Amino acid sequence: MFAALAGLATGLVHVLSGPDHLAAVAPLSADADRSPWRAGLQWGLGHTAGVMVIGLLLISVRQALPIEAISAYSERIVGIALLLVGVWGFARARAPERHIHPAAGASFAMGALHGLAGSSHFFGVLPALALPTQLAAFAYLGGFGVGAVLAMTAFSALVGAIAIRAARRGVNAYRGVLYASSLSAVLVGGFWLIAW
């Protein structure tokens, strides 16, 4: 039980403290034509799936995989994906009357990329490897996943509520929220490409 609660707390903190996480889902959540919480739920499930893949592989084969290489390439892909979601958001903000929707699995795919990349391994997987039993390790990973899903669903609902309130004030207010969300994705994506 302790391992699951520790994983839950770590998953919550990990997701909400990652600017790349928040920037990835903000433009999708600000899209007033969608259920904003759904973008966060899908992102959280994707992130959990990516972390679980890495975690299960590490627990199973421990040292045989080139995790550093997988992580480095995933970080670059995250940067590109952030730039793409930012560009999509800018296109959506320029023409809010047109329906320019990302693919249904865009949030899930973005979350999975983040789950395969970098710090997820340190917070989501490495503590699990230090636990004395595989049951405790799996409980920790499960708790981490639940925390990630809850945190991103709540964040998406908040961004969506802000976007919906802005949309009620008028198209320009809504566009401002979508532009700001998209700019954050582009800036963080650019930084990710330069830093990694």
Q: Which residue has the higher pLDDT, 74 or 134?
A: 134
The pLDDT, as a whole number, for residue 118 is 63
Span of 26-35, 120-129, 131-140 with lowest mean pLDDT = 120-129
Q: Which three-class secondary structure state does DSSP give residue 92? A: helix
Whether residue 191 is predicted with pLDDT greater than 90 in this model: the reply is no
Contact status, residue 42 vs residue 111, Cβ threshold 8 Å: yes
Whether residue 150 is predicted with pLDDT greater than 90 in this model: the reply is yes
Please tell me the distance from the alpha carbon of residue 97 to that of residue 79, in angstroms, as a whole number.
Answer: 28
Q: Which helix (H) or strand (E) holds 109?
A: helix 106-116
Number of domains in the chain: 1
pLDDT tens digits, 90-102:
887 787 565 555 5
Handedness of CA 108, 159, 114, 88 (dihedral sign): positive
Q: Which residue has the higher pLDDT, 160 or 58?
A: 160
Q: What count of other Cβ atoms lies within 10 Å of the Cβ of residue 133?
A: 9
Among candidate residues 47, 33, 32, the one with its CA nearest the CA of residue 166? 32
The count of C-alpha atoms lying within 13 angstroms of the C-alpha of 75, restricted to the half-sphere facing its C-beta, is 16
What is the full DSSP assignment across 142-193?
HHHHHHHHHHHHHHHHHHHHHHHHHHHH-HHHHHHHHHHHHHHHHHHHHHHH
Q: What is the mean pLDDT of the chain?
A: 80
Q: Which residue has the higher pLDDT, 68 or 189?
A: 189
Whole domain around residue 102: which residue ranges? 2-195
Q: What is the dihedral of CA 62, 42, 5, 78, to 10 degrees?
A: 50
| Mean predicted confidence (pLDDT) in 150-170 | 89
The pLDDT, as a whole number, for residue 121 is 60
The pLDDT, as a whole number, for residue 154 is 92
Give the predicted TM-score (pTM) of the model. Answer: 0.75
| Mean predicted confidence (pLDDT) in 125-146 | 84
Please tell me the distance from the alpha carbon of residue 22 to that of residue 178, in angstroms, as a whole number.
Answer: 14
